[in-house]
Structure 1
Amino acid sequence: MHVEGTILRGRAFEPVEGRVVVEGGDVVAVEETTTDSDAIVCPAFVNAHTHIGDSIAKEAGAGLSLDELVAPPDGLKHRLLRAASADEKIEAMRRSLRFMERSGTAATVEFREGGVEGVAAIREALDGLDIEATVLGRETTAAMAEADGFGASGARDDDFAERRAATREAGKPFGIHAGERDPHDLTPALDLDPTFLVHVVHPEPEHLDRIEREGVPVVVCPRSNLVTGVGSPPIADLLDRTTVALGTDNVMLNSPSMFREMEFASKVGSVDAADVLRMATVNGADLVGLNCGLIEPGRAAKLLVLDGDSDNLAGARDPVRAVVRRAGVDDVERVIL
Structure 2
Amino acid sequence: MTVDGGESGRASGTLEGTILRGREFEPVEGRVAFEDGEITAVEETSVESDRIVLPAFVNAHTHIGDSIAKEAGEGLTLEELVAPPDGLKHRLLREATRDELVAAMTRTLSYMERAGTAAHLEFREGGVEGVEAIERAGAGSAVESVVLGREETAAMERADGFGASGANDADFDRERNATRREGKLFGIHAGEVDASDINPALDLDPDFLVHMVHAEALHLDRVADKGVPVVLCPRSNAALSVGLPDVDALFERTTLALGTDNAMVNAPSMFREMEWTAKLSDLPAREVLAMATVNGADLADLNCGVVAPGRDAKLLALDGDSDNLDGVRDVVRGVVRRATVDDVERVVL
TM over 0.5: yes
Gap regions ≥5 residues in structure 2: 1-12
- Structure 1 residue 206: deviation in Å? 1.1
1:266 alignment partner, SS class: helix
- Structure 1 residue 141: deviation in Å? 0.4
Summarize deviations over 1:212-240 as a string: whole Å, max 9, x none. 11110000000000011111111111111
Q: How does 1:153-232 map to 2 (within 5 A)?
A: 153-232=165-244
Which residue matches 2:52?
A: 40
Q: Is the 8 A contact 2:39 2:311 kept in 1?
A: yes
2:23 alignment partner, SS class: coil
Q: Distance in 2 between matches of 1:32 and 1:244?
A: 30
Q: Distance in 2 between matches of 1:90 and 1:270?
A: 40
- Structure 1 residue 88: deviation in Å? 0.3
Q: Distance in 2 between matches of 1:270 and 1:77?
A: 34
Summarize deviations over 1:184-224 as a string: whole Å, max 9, x none. 10000000010000000011111111111111000000000
The question of 1:309 aligning with 2:317 is answered no
Summarize deviations over 1:255-295 as a string: whole Å, max 9, x none. 00000111011112332211110000000000010000000
Deviates more, 1:97-106 or 1:19-28: 19-28
Which residue matches 2:348?
A: 336
Q: Distance in 2 between matches of 1:191 and 1:106?
A: 32
Q: Distance in 1 between matches of 2:74 and 2:289?
A: 30
Counterpart selection for 2:90 from 78, 82, 86: 78
1:229 alignment partner, SS class: coil
Q: Distance in 1 between matches of 2:270 and 2:254?
A: 21
- Paired letter, 2:206: P
TM-score where L is the length of structure 2: 0.96
1:67 alignment partner, SS class: helix
Q: Distance in 1 between matches of 2:23 and 2:137?
A: 32
Aligned residues: 337
Percentage identity across aligned positions? 68
The question of 1:94 aligning with 2:106 is answered yes
The question of 1:292 aligning with 2:304 is answered yes
Which residue matches 1:237?
A: 249
- Structure 1 residue 64: deviation in Å? 0.8
The question of 1:326 aligning with 2:332 is answered no
Which residue matches 1:123?
A: 135
Q: Distance in 1 between matches of 2:129 and 2:121?
A: 18
Q: Distance in 2 between matches of 1:93 and 1:147?
A: 17
Q: Distance in 2 between matches of 1:180 and 1:199?
A: 6
Which residue matches 1:61?
A: 73
- Paired letter, 1:15: P
Q: Is the 8 A contact 2:247 2:280 kept in 1?
A: no
- Paired letter, 1:326: R
Q: Distance in 1 between matches of 2:303 and 2:249?
A: 27
The question of 1:278 aligning with 2:290 is answered yes
Summarize deviations over 1:48-72 as a string: whole Å, max 9, x none. 0000001001001111111011000
Q: Distance in 1 between matches of 2:171 and 2:140?
A: 37
Summarize deviations over 1:146-203 as a string: whole Å, max 9, x none. 0000000000121001111111111101000001111110000000010000000011
Q: Distance in 2 between matches of 1:236 and 1:85?
A: 43
- Structure 1 residue 2: deviation in Å? 1.2
Q: Distance in 1 between matches of 2:110 and 2:139?
A: 11
- Paired letter, 2:259: G
List structure 1 segments (4+ residues) > 3 angstroms apart after TM superposition. Answer: none
2:119 alignment partner, SS class: strand
Gap regions ≥5 residues in structure 1: none
1:262 alignment partner, SS class: helix
TM-score where L is the length of structure 1: 0.99
- Structure 1 residue 24: deviation in Å? 2.2
Q: Distance in 2 between matches of 1:144 and 1:200?
A: 24
2:20 alignment partner, SS class: strand
Q: Distance in 2 between matches of 1:87 and 1:249?
A: 22
- Paired letter, 2:209: L
Which residue matches 1:269?
A: 281
2:142 alignment partner, SS class: coil
- Structure 1 residue 297: deviation in Å? 1.1
